[in-house]
Structure 1
Amino acid sequence: MGLRTSITERQRRLGAELRKLRERSGMVTKEAGEVIGMGSAHLSHIEAGRTSIVTSRLRALCEAYGCTDEPYVEALVDMAEDSGKGWWTEHRKLVSPIALDLAELEAGATRACSYETLFIPGLLQTEGYMRAILGSAQRPDIEPAVRFRLERQHLLIGDDALPLHAVVHEAALRIAVGGPDVMREQLMRLIEAARLPNVTLQILPFDVGAVRSFSTSFSLLHGQAPGLETVVADTPAERTVFLGGDAVVESCADTFVRLAAAALAPIDPGAVPESHLVKDSLGLIQHVAYAL
């Protein structure tokens, strides 16, 4: 039995879900392994994402664990049968494994919710803004990183465009990344992107006051079935982490609802600037842009 030398987030999550189901059922690895004709060590490797599992054995385990949620089981089957190949494959030697994991997760998501405090969300950034951000971090791989991030943005267009709901703090509009010209282009890009039918953009203004967890950026990617959501967050060490689990997902989902409720009204794709009689997201973006 060959073990993987590197484990993708999808593979790790599949194993974690199987382990969660087993533990909920009260079975130990020896008992569960006997159900599908393998030893406990082999099953442990599957649960750690170090090796694969064939569909028939995965279904047998879910049945033995008492899992009757068909959409959830089918989503696990899809995760197990997925080759892991996509547009990101050609970038494997150019960007980090974490970036590749993020691209694969986004490609498999049914919906994305994003909250950003100091920067524009990556899916909505202009090339000039990207270069200024990556350059400020003195990264040696700016060109591959820019190409990769631009490719990620294709998720937002086309017949299967990813629904995105982004809440962006006003601070991100006012931090002069790259200078006035770069920021002016970036702010216009926000308005342009918000007019896409699958994009909802709201600005959380300074005067809203404190909102629970308002200082922490995160994204919530919804999987193919309830229970397979993934929280994407950056740590102080500038490392992206992927988090699952009911408690984490529920907390972040609740926080996002609170942030969206406190934010200004989203940009209405059909509205013209002259029709805005109250302060809203479009008006604030335009105000910041005109002041540059």
Structure 2
Amino acid sequence: MVNPTIQRRRLGNALKRAREAAGKTQDEAARIIDSSASKISRLELGQSGIRQTDLTLLLDFYGVSGDDAEPLRELARAGRQRGRWSGYRNVIPDWFRQYLDLEADATEIRWYQPEVIPGILQTEPYIRALNLHTDTEDFERQISVRLERQEVIDQPDGPHLHLILSESALRRTLGNPPAMREQLIHLAALANRPNVTIQVFPFDAQTYETSSYNFILLRFGDEMASEVVYLETLTDADYLDGPDAVRAYTRLWERLTAAALGPVESRKFILRIADENRG
């Protein structure tokens, strides 16, 4: 079953297209439902649900009726259901639960990570070393979430995962060397899977192209026209789906991909660093 976050996002895309086709602004739409332009923006980004009464007002304002309106009403009803990760509200913030839902339903995930191994690829010892000073019951649940989300890689219809990791993420030892070696061997094993591509951005890459921050590009196939750029901070996250933002990050991704080692070279590189942690 497609999760509610995806349904809300599909509805948001449809409402945005309908508004633009009708030549209306977000401010004008906001006045129709006695709200703010920021509320319309959140609706169109799929970050919040919508009441059927407000949906009816907006559809009438956009000139959407009859058979064209019913699919949007269905999406609105589905978007109010609880998501897969709603049971972890006390240990996962809202802004990250939305990402987890999107991650689970993406058809392609392109991820640039310069400092640490991405959570979707972390082994349990690595997770514990990364959070060495955290020792609570909630932390045990956080570990469960991180390991559970990795199941998406094993699904027959799971996404293609393409990662670019900086060499510093591979060389920064978290925990003891044997635990780090286990993490790197796990990475190398995942790189052999047909739905996983891992590239390493080495220190001596012959390019000026780099990025000091991580970002994720999520694609959802033909069902959802626009892609999403996910940017995470310490206490919040941004979800960008504007054409200019997506285009800029896609171009940056392409330049980083070209500058990084190829998948075969990268796997050998990872195993070489793993060997250095043998002692």
Normalised TM-score (structure 1): 0.74
Q: For residues 62 and 260 of structure 2, what CA distance do their matches in structure 1 show?
A: 44
Q: Which residue of 2 aligns with 1:263?
A: 260
For 2:166 and 2:72, the matched residues in 1 are separated by: 34
Structure 2 residue corresponding to 1:284, chosen from 266, 269, 272: 269
Are 1:129 and 1:178, in contact at CA under 8 Å, matched by a contact in 2?
yes
Change over 3 Å in CA distance of 1:153–1:263 after alignment to 2: same
Instruction: Give deviations 1:85-111, integer Å, cap 9, x for gaps.
Output: 343232223322122111111122121
* Number of equivalent positions: 261
For the aligned residue pairs, the C-alpha RMSD in angstroms reads: 3.7
Instruction: Give 1:62 deviation, angstroms.
Output: 10
1:209-252 per-residue CA deviation (whole Å, 9 max, x = no partner) reads 444342221111113545432111223x4543322211111111
In the alignment, the residues of structure 2 paired with residue 196 and residue 121 of structure 1 have an alpha-carbon distance, to the nearest angstrom, of 17
Distance 1:281 1:99 in 2: 29
> 1:52 maps to what in 2?
50
CA contact 1:127–1:146 (8 Å) conserved in 2: yes
Matched residue, 2:204: 207
Which residues in structure 2 correspond to 1:239-250 (within 5 Å)?
239-250=236-247
Q: CA deviation at 1:11?
A: 4.7
1:183 to 2:168 alignment = no
Q: Which amino acid aligns with 1:289?
A: A
2:254 is paired with a residue of what secondary structure? helix
Q: Aligned AA for 1:230?
A: V
Which residue of 150, 159, 162 maps to 1:162? 159
- Give 1:129 shift: 0.7
Q: Distance in 2 between matches of 1:120 and 1:79?
A: 36
Q: CA 1:51/1:101 → structure 2, altered by over 3 Å: closer, same or farther?
A: closer
Aligned to 2:34: 41
**Structure 2 matches for 1:66-85, cutoff 5 A?**
78=75, 81-85=78-82
Q: Distance in 2 between matches of 1:118 and 1:254?
A: 21
- CA contact under 8 A between 1:15 and 1:46: conserved in structure 2? no
Identity %: 32
SS in 1 for 2:112: strand
Alignment partner, residue 234 of structure 1: 232
Q: Does 1:93 align with 2:90?
A: yes
CA contact (8 A) 1:131 1:142 kept: no
TM-score (norm 2): 0.77
User: Compared with structure 1, are the counterparts of its residues 284 and 221 closer, same or farther at alpha carbon in structure 2 (3 Å cutoff)?
Assistant: same
Query: Paired residue for 1:106?
Result: 103
Contact 1:14/1:47 (8 A) holds in 2? no
SS in 2 for 1:41: coil
Q: Write the letter of the residue equivalent to 2:274.
A: A
SS at match of 1:87: coil
Indicate the larger mover: 160-169 or 48-57: 48-57
Give 3-state SS (helix, strand or coil) of 1:168's partner: strand
